[in-house]
Structure 1
């Protein structure tokens, strides 16, 4: 019996090592450089954002990474500069759930940057039962409304690029998402199921926004993509007890991606030449993939755009200039629009 157990253990170990050896490491095969290009990466101080910043820094890009934790962001900035020998790494503070913070960030960028070539809307959260200053659920505000406001506010700078690109980091979770305008402002709710619904809804909203933005701006030279990075082995697992880590980490290593692997699709959409013909597409594993059917619903995308404009207190004009209405005004517009939308 002991010999059988030993033999089984040895076979299992060899099979595991074989799986590790043949495990496919997804890499963006494009070797295009980004010298002279300015890239903004939200949430660039950890996880996918940090890995993306490292990759693009090695390609010579001038990178603006945003963060909420200044000290953490400063450490990452210094690490990237040291390991990539790229001194063009700029750190800016930004809280996407706070629309005033978004506007202050944009005001600073407009003063310092002549153009922006690539905007990567990477930052996001998966849990949260609170609301922001404007009364919007924190998950939907951080994952969709904040990036919506940021993107519209940076359009003029992006237009100054010869090949502007915008990338939205969505999730496989969009497949369980439903845009329910009646419950957007209460979806977080506090319970785990409610937060999951809020998360999946926000990830579907990102794809819908991407498609509507493509429809409006592709004729002006914009290339717009959404990406699905896959399931990533990140710091979320660090809190596991050591015994659980011992059991789960070998399996996680095989079935989950590292942050460096997970960022490859957004790197691909940011740097690869010739992707302009795929603008408006959803990407996974560095290739176009069809999202769920509601993500292609044009009327929902148009309604979501209008809804989001009112929610963040911004109204975009045909000239692409945008007029701000802050704080209490945005709550007023959001509430009045919601009432009006329910009556349709």
Structure 2
């Protein structure tokens, strides 16, 4: 049998494989060590400087956080609860959110945590949320547009608008637009965007986005969030508006993105492989918390933040110049709700 192998045309491949496995036995531990060293420094770079907020008290401040029942929204709410803020958990799932609220109340001792139902893809529900909020509260100090979904395949809301675009952008646009007259002096609007907005390199046809003709609608919504930040920062006088990238994080957002077991399995395998480089949920919330708690005078109106520091938008934002176009389009689509 050995003679047959030696005479076979596959002998060079067989011998090369044996040599490779022999040396791999010695170098594999070094490769693994090198991977974790590189991953550690990538992780530190992604996180940025560590901030402390021990002296900041948000007593009397009213905060709305969309999607505060999980992920970085939940961790943001937890931190702001420690700072004595009154927090509105604007979420879809009441049972899940009440459980989170009770958990944070017990941990922080802050009883000023409230659930209000918000379904961003249902524009009538967004209007009802705002009406209910205005009946209960006289001001809004911090609005954190955090909630978001990702889908591999297109779904649609009651208005036949593509679901990711309706949830991540249009719902937040309507919410923000209806709450503008409730913003207090020196208030803030924080839009959780993503580095994925940099993937947009040519002008979007917003009607095509609305109708689901693009595959990369998640990226499109993050681009639109940045454009919304730019517009609001120009027209609001006593409110500062910023957008941010929280970092690469393993959250429920990605758990729900895959529509099949195979896609979900691929996602889990990739995140298991790159997990040492990604941020924890707590770390991913730090940039949002930084923007919420830094001194008002230091917050750059219209700025873009990542890694707990001021950063820069994609150059395409200025080059494509779609801020006004998106603003007019959004008003046109949602005019019956405004």
- TM-score band, normalised by shorter chain: 0.7 to 0.9
Size of the aligned set, in residue pairs, is: 306
More moved, 300-309 vs 173-182: 173-182
CA gap 1:155/1:182 in 2 versus in 1, 3 angstroms: closer
The residue number in structure 1 matching 2:246 is 229
Please report the RMSD computed on the Cα atoms of aligned residues, expressed in angstroms: 2.9
CA gap 1:100/1:52 in 2 versus in 1, 3 angstroms: same
1:68 to 75, 87, 92: 92
TM-score, normalising length: structure 1:
0.79
1:291 to 310, 313, 319: 313
Q: Distance in 2 between matches of 1:180 and 1:245?
A: 29
The residue number in structure 2 matching 1:166 is 189
What are the within-5 Å matches in structure 2 for residues 187-206 of structure 1? 188-189=212-213, 194-196=214-216, 198-206=217-225
1:279 aligns with 2:301: yes
Cα displacement (A) at 1:294: 3.2
2:163 to 126, 134, 138: 138
Give the gaps of 5 or more residues in structure 1.
314-324, 331-344
Cα displacement (A) at 1:251: 3.6
Alignment partner of 2:248: what SS? Answer: coil
Q: Could you list the runs of 4 or more consecutive aligned residues of structure 1 that deviate by over 6 angstroms after TM superposition?
A: 1-6, 19-22, 238-241, 243-247
The residue number in structure 2 matching 1:175 is 198
More moved, 123-132 vs 97-106: 123-132
| CA-to-aligned-CA distance 1:124-182 (integer Å, 9 cap, x gap) | 11115122222221111111111111001111111xx2320000011111112242134
Q: Distance in 2 between matches of 1:245 and 1:129?
A: 18
The residue number in structure 2 matching 1:255 is 277
Give the gaps of 5 or more residues in structure 2.
1-18
What are the within-5 Å matches in structure 2 for residues 17-96 of structure 1? 23-24=43-44, 26=48, 28-31=50-53, 32-96=56-120
Alignment partner of 1:119: what SS? Answer: strand
More moved, 269-278 vs 111-120: 269-278
Kindly name which structure, 1 or 2, has the bigger radius of gyration based on alpha carbons: 2
Cα displacement (A) at 1:14: 5.2
TM-score, normalising length: structure 2:
0.80
Alignment check: 8 A CA contact 2:197 2:222 kept: yes
CA gap 1:41/1:140 in 2 versus in 1, 3 angstroms: same
| CA-to-aligned-CA distance 1:240-287 (integer Å, 9 cap, x gap) | 89x989975664331111111111111111110045551111111122
More moved, 39-48 vs 230-239: 230-239
Q: Distance in 2 between matches of 1:154 and 1:216?
A: 14
2:332 to 292, 300, 310: 310
